[in-house]
A and B are shown apart, each in its own frame.
Chain A
Amino acid sequence: SQTIHQWPATLVQPVGSPLSLECTVEGTSNPNLYWYRQAAGRGLQLLFYSVGIGQISSEVPQNLSASRPQDRQFILSSKKLLLSDSGFYLCAWSRGLSSYNEQFFGPGTRLTVL
């Protein structure tokens, strides 16, 4: 069976500090990977998605970036955090080459920027 991991689970960072969130998937190959943010009182916002190693598509221009150094690893980064970056960050995966795109979420990272 497939498993998706995210860490850390919670993070408190000062404004202007860097960020690195990691996501890994087990039990599948060539998954599509996604980063979402869920801010308080708002819906799920797709930030980035990747269909393969080194292939990143950005949905929302901002001070965040993503990388996919390995097939089942997805990293979300920032050089300088803003207060508005606070939220619940969710990594998700779906089967590559699927026309149905069922997405499965990891446990999430709750980020608070002070």
Chain B
Amino acid sequence: QKEVEQNSGPLSVPEGAIASLNCTYSDRGSQSFFWYRQYSGKSPELIMSIYSNGDKEDGRFTAQLNKASQYVSLLIRDSQPSDSATYLCAVFRGSGGSNYKLTFGKGTLLTVNP
């Protein structure tokens, strides 16, 4: 079983629509969850962090976490062509000690059409 799963896409949405990106994870002990945006040829950029169940909003972005369902999502409202990128979901177990590993999904390619 893959540790962090994402639909590879591509996910195509029209400009101004809501883009919904989903991620599931296998480790129930996971404590921290992150969304990174990666433009083609560039490095990943951290855009959202979420640590507790519920929603967290930052501008046009909303992260949603449901630990019981082992599910985390990212909503992008009023999608813009500049949002076209690959979105990576990452999970941290936070077990303490020397375990600092972030586990990444393979990413979902989002295309926003003008």
A interface list, Cβ under 8 A from B:
32, 34, 42-44, 46, 49, 51, 57, 59, 88, 90, 94, 99-108, 110
Within the complex, which residue of B31, B42, B45, B98 is in contact with A51, where a contact is CB–CB below 8 Å? B98
Q: Which 7 A-B pairs have the closest CB atoms?
A: A43-B106, A105-B43, A44-B104, A108-B43, A101-B92, A100-B32, A105-B44
Residues of B within 8 A of A44 (CB): 44, 88, 104
Complex Cα–Cα for A90 and B100 (A): 16
Instruction: Determine how close the nearest CB of chain B comes to the CB of A48; give it in whole angstroms.
Output: 11
Chain B: interface size category: 20 to 34
Inter-subunit contact A32/B100 (CB<8 Å): yes
B interface list, Cβ under 8 A from A:
31-32, 34, 36, 41-46, 49, 51, 88, 90, 92, 94, 96, 98, 100-102, 104-107
With a 10 A CB-CB cut-off, give which of A43, A94, A107 has the most chain B CB atoms: A43
Residues of A within 8 A of B42 (CB): 107-108
Complex Cα–Cα for A100 and B31 (A): 8
Within the complex, which residue of B43, B94, B105 is in contact with A100, where a contact is CB–CB below 8 Å? B94
